[in-house]
Structure 1
Amino acid sequence: MLEENYKKFYEEIQSDIEKSRLYTDEIRNLAYGTDAGFYRLTPKIIVRAQNEKEVTKALTLANKYSLPVTFRAAGTSLAGQAITDSILIIAGKHWEGYEILKGGEEIRMQPGLVGARINQVLAPYGKKLGPDPASINSAMIGGIVMNNASGMNCGTHENAYKTIRSARLVFADGTVLDTGDETSRKEFMNSHGDFIRKIEEIRDCVRANKTLADRIRHKYSIKNTTGLSINPFIDYDDPFQIIVNLMVGSEGTLAFMSELTMKTVTNHKHKASAMIYFPDIVTACQSVVTMKPGPVHGAEMLDRVALRAVEDSDGIPAFIKDFPDGVTAILVETLANSQEELDNNIKEIKNLLSAYETVKPIEFTDKPEEYSKYWNIRKGVFPAVGGLRETGTTCIIEDVAFHIEDLPKATAELQELIAKYGYKDGVIYGHALEGNFHFIFNQNFDKPEELEQYVSFMKEVDYLVVDKYDGSLKAEHGTGRNMAPFVKHEWGEEAYELMKEVKQLFDPKSLLNPGVIINEDPDCYIKDFKTLKPVHDIVDKCIECGFCEVNCLTAGFSLSARQRTVVQREIKRLENTGENPDMLKKLKKGFAYLGEQTCAGDGLCATSCPVGIDTGKYIKYLRSLNVDTARAQKISGIVANNFSTVGSTIRTGLKFVNGVHTVMGSTLLGGIAGGFRKLSGNSIPAWTPAMPKGVSGPKPKEINQENPLKVVYFPSCIAQTMGPAKGDPYKEPLHKVTQKLLEKAGYEVIFPDKMSSLCCGTPWESKGLIEHADQKSSELEAALLKASENGKYPVLCDTSPCLYRMRNVMDKSLKLYEPVEFIHEFMMDKLKFNKVDEVVAVHPTCTTTKMGLTAKLKAVAEACASHVVLPEEVGCCGFAGDRGFNYPEVNKYALRKLHPVIEKEKVVAGYSNSRTCEIGLTTNAGVPYMSIIYLVNRVTEGIKATPNYKKKPAKKERAAI
């Protein structure tokens, strides 16, 4: 039950923010309250704000009722700075606006824009962001700036502090200031003159204190995010610019940043990288000190344990598995403006390293497809190492910085310290060129002696970094909660009091992210630890980093992949302990819709997870538990064993509905169908004008045995029942058009026996009915082996998701192809393409993406049309077989960014390779989507050539349906 002031806040804020974006329920508060760090607090109220006005209202009310507030963007922060047990304001999704300024020299952004997306839009200008954290594919710019996350190559010269230009801020009392707008500055000066004068007073006092000023300069000569950023007082004169730069690294403790403008940096066209292996960590660090003055723009260290964690990653050579203990890698990058300069850089680096022993010869590569693998591996070290932890332990990551001259000795001592405390899986890796290392270790906190071990270890780390080497306890991950008690020790009393003075000025009631950076509790870093208890082998490696969320279509709608695991872990914990049965009941009830029913199960979350966790697979496992009843299995078996009859029934039903659609029209039928669905409690599937009509299966033709070009064509059960919709531009069934196209290219088409009874098993698998899914795929496998003469001929399936399952479960002797792949590999040279002058869009299904065929889909479309659009930030459509009929809201949310692109680019039609996905795409895009096969067939003609076989009457063979 909410306390009185929280209840008042909740009631009043509903006048400005719809209730659907205000969470007070147990399941979402738990799920959304979790970030990537190793602490957990559960908020009382979550506000999913969509604009500055809503944040202003929330802060005004929080100030009115003296309620603490914490801000969150992507939640990839690692130091406990984005969690709270009070009010959490999330500003991620819907905060993705941007504007390119000065020809790409600057960019204005909202805080929810993902770093990689920013670089994507800047690429045409030859620019990119300065900060390049390893989490850039998932972290949002608001968090990147507020934590002063720097990364692999930006050092201290191109980080957020150096590249931020202005910001639009909402203060704790609801006041808004845009430092880049002269009118806003004047208004703020009039309303908050004392505030500005105080900033100037602090500035002048700091500069007059030479000892303090020199201390600040020295501390920020290396990476440092310990405490508030107090260097603006010596770096800038303008009080408004001081305010802007005070925001960098403030972790939401001073104000909310609703918009910011940053200077961009050059994205060099010429790059080369080398993974260099040294016999030990000291030699590796010494080499970095030697390379520092040279043309080296990045030098990332991976110790032997880190290498072991990623040794199975794509791009890592097999020989590292044979390396002895101690071998340490340095991943080096050099950048240039020309190939000649790049070659000279490589030569100079090799000369600098000529005196060092290496385990393998130094080999640079300037091929993006090769060096990008190295850097992707480096970005995924933390989650990969976390995935190797002992089940049930907490993965802890720290990051420190030393002055470069101290690097070899300090790193060796840090490694010895990790060994001293028995952290056998402890890893050291990171930005060696900047003297900045991360170290990871896995800790169990179940027993008092384990907590004492951690406390003693951290005290020795504090002594090593601060007292012995005068380094930074936090270099780029932010202070958060885990280093808050050590800020005063690192900086000294005078600097710490300055930070407290700044905090008091900006946040007099200490309502903004309390407990972070400034925290007087010496034990705050050993409280509220997150536990990662085992749930299932599929997801137990998850450390809740959030990297999956950029590819999870329900992130920000129901639950994300990460959040599904979070909730399931708590359910399992409550089941094991027997505590709080009421909470357990609520979590299970809430998870039914938020976690299970709205998950598309597409598995794209695994593509951005460094350890490949497929949460969709786990959800299908949970579904299998839910349907493991005699009745469900019986119905499933009846459908599987009478599939031809079921298909005929669906076909008839679709023909009937299409007839009604033709008579009534879309508006009337839509209203009636929507009414019936509402009355049924949404148990009746949703109807859409894109609903296909029913079609009959294909009719095989005689096969010319003398023709060496043969292909086995399996029209999916969907293609055998679902044809074009009423408004589609192509009217023939897909299987008929596919057959025409294959024959046009000179192929003899072989159909498997008993087609109408065959299915790949995907409909059963998606519902967790694995036994019958495997039954159907086994039946299909046998039919395809027979038709292809045990793999002699290739097999084409016209539906990508079906083909994906077939590849995963069937005999490897079968050569299985989906449409785009088969056309690209075997038909481009057998057809004449007459490109049409049209703007078309393509949609790679989730399985197309997982099979790595997106580029081929675009290439085939580009052979057909003058302009091809691949809408950015549109992933899985969320239709997920029949799930789009039952939960159309998921499909709508997944494709929310599609229609604006279609309108902007004036797209006339879209093409994909899954009929059900195309229904959802058509519904939400505003233009018809159909199989890419239709487009290829439309624009091509066969190339006449003398056949390489004798012409004679073909044997009369007809494959049975």
Structure 2
Amino acid sequence: MNAPAALPTDFLAAVEKLIPAERRFDDPLSTLAFGTDASFYRLIPKLVVRVESEEEVVGLLKLAHGARVPVTFRAAGTSLSGQAISDSVLIVLGDNWNGREVRNGGAQIRLQPGVIGANANAILAPMQRKIGPDPASINAAKIGGIVANNSSGMCCGTAQNSYKTLAGLRLVLADGSVVDSEDQASVAFFRQTHGNMLDQLAELGRITRANTDLAAKIRHKYRLKNTTGFSLNALVDYDEPLDILNHLMIGSEGTLGFISAVTYDTVPDHPHKASALVVFPDVETCCLAVPVLKQQPVSAVELLDRRSLRSVENKAGMPEWVKALSAGACALLIESRAASQSLLHEQINLIMTSIAHFPVEKQVDFSEDPAVYNQLWKIRKDTFPAVGAVRQTGTTVIIEDVTFPIERLAEGVNRLIQLFEKHAYSEAILFGHALEGNLHFVFTQGFDDPLQVARYEAFMQDVTQLVAVEFGGALKAEHGTGRNMAPFVELEWGNDAYQLMWQIKRLLDPQGILNPDVVLSEDPQIHLKHLKPMPAADEIVDKCIECGFCEPVCPSNGLTLTPRQRIVVWRDIQAKKRAGIDTSELEQLYDYQGVETCAATGLCAQRCPVGINTGDLVRKLRGRNADNTRAATWLAEHFRTAVQGARFMLHVANGAHLLMGTRLLSKTSAALTNASKGRVPQWSSATPQPLQRLHLPKPSPQDQRPRVVYLAACVSRAMGPAARDQEQEPLLDTTRTLLEKAGYQVIFPDELNNLCCGQPFASKGYAEQAEQKRQETLDALLKASRGGLDPIYCDTSPCTLRLVQDLADDRLQVFDPVRFIRTHLIDKLDFEPQDAPIAVHVTCSTQHLGEAQALIDIARRCAKEVVVPEGIHCCGFAGDKGFTTPELNAHALRSLKDAVQVCEEGISTSRTCEIGLSQHGGIDYHGLVYLVNRNSRARAAAAP
């Protein structure tokens, strides 16, 4: 059905009563931002609603059903076929959809739709179990989307997808009715109220099973990976109508109902694994090996054609021999997993023996070494982003997803390559899950020219004819039908099956309000409409493919915008400006939502397939608005005064606290911060006291101990413990005590009070002053370390990261606390772990430095129980954002207090992060050195 030109007034009034204003969005920035998913389609919703309960979903659906208003559900927005966009009402999930319940020692898990797939697996990992589906997007995709799309992946195949591992489902139908298959009372009530619907489903099942040709076709189609159309196998696999209903929901893409909870039968997650890469001389030989491997104990077999190997051959760490492979080479990346190492070795022997008779051009033998293993999988995982990284600005990356019968895989691969050449997609690459005959092909496409759209249309006509008609394959194996393949469902399935799907749709959604034009559409051109523009915005972000992988680690996700949304809106602003359209309203909204509330710590770059740091764009935009250049230059040249000023401000705040008390000062400070738009920092009970005058001893020429240069960060020099903190020793003193305990002579660089890594200037957009301070500090460190002879210890990880990024002078050995303790102290100390649990916050900079696991490992030497809160990646304090934009810090840490209930103390490696963590966690957070110092003693010298 078509969306109305405007939403009915009565409907909107009813929604306003149901959903608070802060969770309803209809402004131009929000609707554009939320309207974007990972596909190459775009619709702008008229209203976005963030729901926090099933009751709200029920209420919205009842209202929509009564007013005939189309609605679309959105989980993570990582789907690729246009199934998560709307030009009517878009319903997105809030925080309260994260419930999980592990059952029977991990044999089952019940999940709400907002749980990220990887988090579900992390919960199951201690039991060596996992959920069956393993999509490439599992670190971002949510359970609601994984179930609704019947997503699979590299190891999942057809045996472990959501359809096959479904144990229970709770769903909301289009009329707002709820049924939970695990609740007998719910089922009984649903049978009373919806008996006619269930009877009709049962009848459809009987008719389908009685039609032997159709039933045989359905069974054949689902021996392949297939997500084209509805899951008609439900009609032949089950005769109980509620079972049919539940399994029809799998892969229905939000067109039949809302999935409120799902129970999975989990699958084993074997701890021992090994991988090999075998390169065959041609596609035919490669594909002939696949059926042989399918009979062996393999967990994954990934095919990579020569084009995909070529796309990554120049990447850092790639073996040199990849460049020399022949033009027709085709590779298989093989993985095997087992419960024990001995069984794994047996499996490897079986696998290699089975393919020993095939000619091989190049081979990397099975390896259990994580470095080798990860490098092999990096080849596979880098292929898709490699195409995205080299595409022309203004084009989009399209990844198609088809299945060929495995016995015709070689022919299918070659025919696809011929189509690439016929339609001039010279950059296209081909890879996929070989065991299932499931191939992905990636190409770039522009949609700003009618000729380009016509080329795409002709290409897709040829692809659909090839796959669905000539080969009897599936047009969508795991990415869902969406809008992309809706016009071709009948071509693949035939008229009988197609009409059966429409019967199901009209039975379960008689008003047609659930995600119209997705899976089934009466518009044969729907796949060519609402194509997403990808206009140039800034070279920093022009390679963004809008996949959404960045979003789970962004601290402003759910407060304002995510990195993907920041890029989407900035693209739109730039395109409108070029077209002469007024963007003042958008830019005004963007100033706060896009720029002010970005932490700019760059965790998004770690998740981005093409390595985009959206924080770089934000810093650039801040630089354009940085109109206090003279003041920044003066502060850079008189940094000692800036540190003294910070101490003075802390003195004032401390005095105000003594006079006013905690509650009144907190309230007054919050009001001042808000009124001044962040110019007056917000005080909290975790705000540090000022550090008194530093006492920096001079080195003694007679001291023969090994030297370490200690760079105390400016925050460590200005900030002492908070007044409420049980630990009142300053970080500087504790650090020096620990270093001396390990046998080091501690050296401080000259002019320490005037040194700064430059981060405070960089975060505000003053790049020139930032680099000036960084270089001054590096020069001082080179001198203090005697030309790089001595290691340099920096007590704050963000400062360390700032100093070592793009460090040209390889004489300098600059360490953050984690790396220095790991490499220089552990072998000099004996540890006595404490009984009290400890909470660990891994800062953004620690993650960038690659020391996240090392931090956790060190904490485990010091405490018997270590708690790493789920879902907190960046605390959002971001230097001074916790003072000036406190809502960002509060939002990022909104789940912290519940997560650390069993702990009395937390640790981190950034003094400013610890302020926000202490405030919102309800426990004191300290530097890592406090924990290490308290739970270690100097190791006794070995006897001669």
Q: TM-score, normalised by structure 2?
A: 0.97
Question: Shift of the alpha carbon at 1:125?
Answer: 1.7
1:463 corresponds to 2:465: yes
Q: 1:855 to 1:296 in 2, by over 3 A?
A: closer
1:567 corresponds to 2:566: no
| Partner in structure 1 of residue 837 of structure 2 | 839
Deviations 1:402-448 (A, max 9, x none): 11111111111111111111101111111111001011111122322
Q: Which residues in structure 2 correspond to 1:844-863 (within 5 Å)? A: 844-863=842-861
Quick check: 2:689–2:719 contact (8 Å CA) kept in 1? yes
| Partner in structure 2 of residue 223 of structure 1 | 225
Quick one: distance in 2 between partners of 1:679 and 1:526? 49
Quick one: distance in 1 between partners of 2:373 and 2:942? 46
| Partner in structure 2 of residue 435 of structure 1 | 437
SS at match of 1:361: strand
Quick one: distance in 2 between partners of 1:247 and 1:318? 48
Give the total of aligned pairs: 940
Q: Which residues in structure 2 correspond to 1:280-359 (within 5 Å)? A: 280-311=282-313, 316-359=318-361
Question: Shift of the alpha carbon at 1:491?
Answer: 0.8
Question: Shift of the alpha carbon at 1:708?
Answer: 4.5
SS at match of 2:617: helix
| Partner in structure 2 of residue 951 of structure 1 | none
> Could you tell me which amino acid in structure 2 is paired with residue 789 of structure 1?
R
| Partner in structure 2 of residue 454 of structure 1 | 456
Quick check: 1:753–1:783 contact (8 Å CA) kept in 2? yes
Question: Shift of the alpha carbon at 1:527?
Answer: 1.1
Deviations 1:242-299 (A, max 9, x none): 0000001110000011111111111123322112212232322122133222222311
Q: Which residues in structure 2 correspond to 1:499-510 (within 5 Å)? A: 499-510=501-512
Quick check: 1:600–1:880 contact (8 Å CA) kept in 2? yes
| Partner in structure 2 of residue 643 of structure 1 | 639
Quick one: distance in 1 between partners of 2:859 and 2:342? 37
Quick one: distance in 1 between partners of 2:696 and 2:679? 38
Quick one: distance in 2 between partners of 1:671 and 1:139? 39
> Could you tell me which amino acid in structure 2 is paired with residue 930 of structure 1?
H
> Could you tell me which amino acid in structure 2 is paired with residue 474 of structure 1?
K
Deviations 1:579-626 (A, max 9, x none): x31xx2222111111111111011111111122211112211121122
Question: Shift of the alpha carbon at 1:802?
Answer: 0.5
Deviations 1:475-533 (A, max 9, x none): 11111111111111111111110000000000001110001111111111111111222
Quick one: distance in 1 between partners of 2:206 and 2:260? 29
> Could you tell me which amino acid in structure 1 is paired with residue 234 of structure 2?
P
1:626 corresponds to 2:625: yes
Q: 1:141 to 1:315 in 2, by over 3 A?
A: farther
1:767 corresponds to 2:764: yes
SS at match of 1:866: coil
Quick check: 2:229–2:519 contact (8 Å CA) kept in 1? yes
1:901 corresponds to 2:894: no
Quick check: 2:277–2:363 contact (8 Å CA) kept in 1? no
Quick one: distance in 2 between partners of 1:836 and 1:334? 39
Quick one: distance in 1 between partners of 2:342 and 2:842? 39
| Partner in structure 1 of residue 921 of structure 2 | 925
Quick one: distance in 2 between partners of 1:362 and 1:929? 47
> Could you tell me which amino acid in structure 2 is paired with residue 173 of structure 1?
D
Equivalent of 1:725, from 716, 722, 727?
Answer: 722
Quick one: distance in 2 between partners of 1:824 and 1:697? 31
Question: Shift of the alpha carbon at 1:943?
Answer: 4.6
| Partner in structure 2 of residue 777 of structure 1 | 774
SS at match of 1:684: coil
Question: Shift of the alpha carbon at 1:683?
Answer: 3.8
| Partner in structure 2 of residue 657 of structure 1 | 653
Q: 1:487 to 1:111 in 2, by over 3 A?
A: same
Deviations 1:902-926 (A, max 9, x none): 11xx201111111110000000000
| Partner in structure 2 of residue 704 of structure 1 | 700
Q: 1:633 to 1:186 in 2, by over 3 A?
A: same
1:482 corresponds to 2:503: no
> Could you tell me which amino acid in structure 1 is paired with residue 721 of structure 2?
P
Quick check: 1:134–1:378 contact (8 Å CA) kept in 2? no
Q: Which residues in structure 2 correspond to 1:347-386 (within 5 Å)? A: 347-375=349-377, 377-386=379-388
Quick check: 1:278–1:328 contact (8 Å CA) kept in 2? yes
Quick check: 2:837–2:865 contact (8 Å CA) kept in 1? yes
> Could you tell me which amino acid in structure 1 is paired with residue 624 of structure 2?
L
1:616 corresponds to 2:611: no
Tell me which moved more, 532-541 or 791-800. 532-541
Tell me which moved more, 349-358 or 772-781. 349-358
Quick check: 2:760–2:770 contact (8 Å CA) kept in 1? yes
1:417 corresponds to 2:413: no
Quick one: distance in 2 between partners of 1:260 and 1:787? 60
Quick check: 1:47–1:87 contact (8 Å CA) kept in 2? yes
Quick one: distance in 1 between partners of 2:225 and 2:294? 15
Quick one: distance in 1 between partners of 2:616 and 2:417? 38
Q: Which residues in structure 2 correspond to 1:937-952 (within 5 Å)? A: 937-943=933-939
Question: Shift of the alpha carbon at 1:941?
Answer: 3.8
Question: Shift of the alpha carbon at 1:322?
Answer: 3.3
Q: 1:377 to 1:888 in 2, by over 3 A?
A: farther
Quick one: distance in 2 between partners of 1:361 and 1:679? 66
Question: Shift of the alpha carbon at 1:862?
Answer: 2.6
Quick one: distance in 2 between partners of 1:185 and 1:558? 40
1:94 corresponds to 2:96: yes
Q: TM-score, normalised by structure 1?
A: 0.95
Question: Shift of the alpha carbon at 1:681?
Answer: 5.1
Question: Shift of the alpha carbon at 1:383?
Answer: 3.4
1:602 corresponds to 2:572: no
Q: Which residues in structure 2 correspond to 1:537-616 (within 5 Å)? A: 537-578=539-580, 580-581=581-582, 584-616=583-615
Percent identity of equivalent pairs: 46
| Partner in structure 1 of residue 50 of structure 2 | 48
> Could you tell me which amino acid in structure 1 is paired with residue 585 of structure 2?
K
Quick one: distance in 1 between partners of 2:771 and 2:914? 26
| Partner in structure 2 of residue 826 of structure 1 | 824
Question: Shift of the alpha carbon at 1:34?
Answer: 0.5
Question: Shift of the alpha carbon at 1:8?
Answer: 3.0
Q: 1:315 to 1:432 in 2, by over 3 A?
A: farther
Quick check: 2:678–2:883 contact (8 Å CA) kept in 1? no
| Partner in structure 1 of residue 391 of structure 2 | 389
Quick one: distance in 1 between partners of 2:163 and 2:860? 43
Quick one: distance in 2 between partners of 1:481 and 1:946? 71
| Partner in structure 1 of residue 683 of structure 2 | 687
Equivalent of 1:749, from 736, 746, 751?
Answer: 746
Deviations 1:25-72 (A, max 9, x none): 111111111000011111000011111111111111111211100011
Quick one: distance in 1 between partners of 2:803 and 2:95? 35
Task: Please list every run of 5 or more consecutive structure 1 residues that lacks an aligned counterpart in the other structure.
Answer: 949-961
Q: Which residues in structure 2 correspond to 1:853-892 (within 5 Å)? A: 853-892=851-890
Q: 1:662 to 1:550 in 2, by over 3 A?
A: same
Q: Which residues in structure 2 correspond to 1:103-182 (within 5 Å)? A: 103-182=105-184
Quick one: distance in 1 between partners of 2:327 and 2:68? 55
Question: Shift of the alpha carbon at 1:897?
Answer: 2.1
Quick one: distance in 1 between partners of 2:23 and 2:97? 14
Q: 1:314 to 1:273 in 2, by over 3 A?
A: farther
Deviations 1:792-834 (A, max 9, x none): 1111111110010000144331100111221221122333434
Question: Shift of the alpha carbon at 1:372?
Answer: 4.1
Question: Shift of the alpha carbon at 1:537?
Answer: 2.3
Question: Shift of the alpha carbon at 1:673?
Answer: 2.3
Quick check: 1:697–1:721 contact (8 Å CA) kept in 2? no
Quick check: 2:469–2:491 contact (8 Å CA) kept in 1? no
> Could you tell me which amino acid in structure 2 is paired with residue 738 of structure 1?
T
> Could you tell me which amino acid in structure 2 is paired with residue 705 of structure 1?
P
Deviations 1:178-226 (A, max 9, x none): 1221111111111111111111111111111111111111111111111
Quick check: 1:554–1:894 contact (8 Å CA) kept in 2? yes
Q: Which residues in structure 2 correspond to 1:161-310 (within 5 Å)? A: 161-310=163-312
SS at match of 2:864: strand
| Partner in structure 2 of residue 957 of structure 1 | none
